[in-house]
Structure 1
């Protein structure tokens, strides 16, 4: 069955799109008719991903973009508008992640600052550059931020979690400010997703899956589908929301439930 063309005639810019969730989102939106600019701090990786989409008959271009650099974010938006003639959707997917050290005293200022700068401030830089063009989309413009369940509950990673929580707050404040300009702003909060960043740690993913009520970790395509919904006109009356796409992890505690049920007969 051919995909629905909800994005026919639309132009999309995605950050951190060289692989994982960003690449899957680019493929999903392009398959639905969008012209997509894949940006990444690794320009070669973005170019390879865009070439793969073009080989599938989809419309995709690539650009280098470090969202920590205002000049590069401004240039990426200008590139999208130059190549496609417009910009309708911005997907802020780029992030930085540093694992917590064993002791709080060993948290490094530079790691904390980088995670917040890329994950949170980078999204603001991109939204700021894109907003005039999103407004010009005549009510079609929208921003979809990629957050995390880490921004909703404690799953460790101080800086990354703080940045994702800040991104959820920024989503709400931007939604309130930009609604009058005809631009919607929403956020998708993924749970654990099997991306290339987990390479070599497949055993950890398998253990994590045991704690998800739906019995598995996420796939990049799960997140891409949610982004496609929030970016589409199917969500035309939705703004300022955080949509968990998390296999139920925020509403279930499999480990505790199992402990409490140990030795008890199953209820019908």
Structure 2
């Protein structure tokens, strides 16, 4: 039985329909916190938001890696700071949110990008509890902790947005049991939190990438070339492909979009190229 829903808080006055982003950088006057931003999708997102005017707090479990991303942004004229953050630890998350607000005076955008993805063993029954629990803790409970800590500040901004980084693994079977379950759960959390936070002026959406050329695929160029054959657009993704989608969903260009999953997967989940190749004998 579905439990009764709590009464909704009163709705704030919402701003008028926003002007087109062509009027200027979309994130002028915005502050953003990005987790797992020391490299890959997170780093590309930090660069993209900063290039569009945002003040960015780059967080990562590896503080040195976070600082390298922040330094690169500053070298190109952007505003960025770095801070170590373990999304598996509530105190660390709350300290990161407090740091962003103290340094920038506000928080408008949260990007939940940090994740854990354990390799599968040949037999499911041999999977250790530790791998399963870590994947769920970092990839699902981490965004929960970050969103909980950030939400009061996102509400106060009057234009708050949360963008979760999910995966096509949350929709179809591509292996990685714990990671896939976590990403499916994150899509559900995106929808329920969107319903809860929408009346208070905060939008919550999710980007579901396909295969993206990040450090996770380092040294596997041959495998990536093979994988490219199953993508209708003929290639795997780049971190910047995902960053572009995040920037859209975080901006006022997406002012009437919440609770959605945006697949950025080169058409992978729209068709079955593997089946077509098998039938054709290619």
Q: TM-score range by the shorter chain?
A: over 0.9
Give the distance between the partners of 2:89 and 2:280, measured in 1 at CA: 52
Match of 2:241 in 1: 222
2:101 equivalent to 1:84: no
Give the distance between the partners of 2:110 and 2:202, measured in 1 at CA: 11
Offset from partner CA, 1:163-187 (integer Å, 9 cap, x none):
0000000000000000111000000
Match of 1:20 among 40, 52, 55: 40
Give the distance between the partners of 1:3 and 1:95, measured in 2 at CA: 35
Give the distance between the partners of 1:68 and 1:175, measured in 2 at CA: 22
1:190-201 paired onto structure 2 within 5 Å: 190-201=209-220
Give the distance between the partners of 1:3 and 1:80, measured in 2 at CA: 27
2:152 equivalent to 1:132: yes
2:268 equivalent to 1:249: yes
Match of 2:178 among 139, 159, 182: 159
Give the distance between the partners of 1:129 and 1:255, measured in 2 at CA: 42
Give 3-state SS (helix, strand or coil) of 1:250's partner. Answer: helix
Match of 1:178 in 2: 197
Give 3-state SS (helix, strand or coil) of 1:243's partner. Answer: strand
TM-score, length-scaled by structure 1: 0.95
Residue 89 of structure 1 deviates from its aligned partner by 0.2
Contact 1:3 1:32 in 2 (8 A): no
Match of 1:96 in 2: 116
Match of 2:67 in 1: 47
Match of 2:87 in 1: 67
- Runs of 4+ in structure 1 deviating by more than 6 angstroms, as ranges, are none
2:196 equivalent to 1:211: no
Give the distance between the partners of 2:90 and 2:277, measured in 1 at CA: 49
Give the distance between the partners of 2:166 and 2:104, measured in 1 at CA: 27
Residue 259 of structure 1 deviates from its aligned partner by 2.9
Aligned residues: 261
Give the distance between the partners of 1:117 and 1:262, measured in 2 at CA: 42
Give 3-state SS (helix, strand or coil) of 2:157's partner. Answer: coil
5+ residue gaps, structure 2: 1-21
5+ residue gaps, structure 1: 264-268
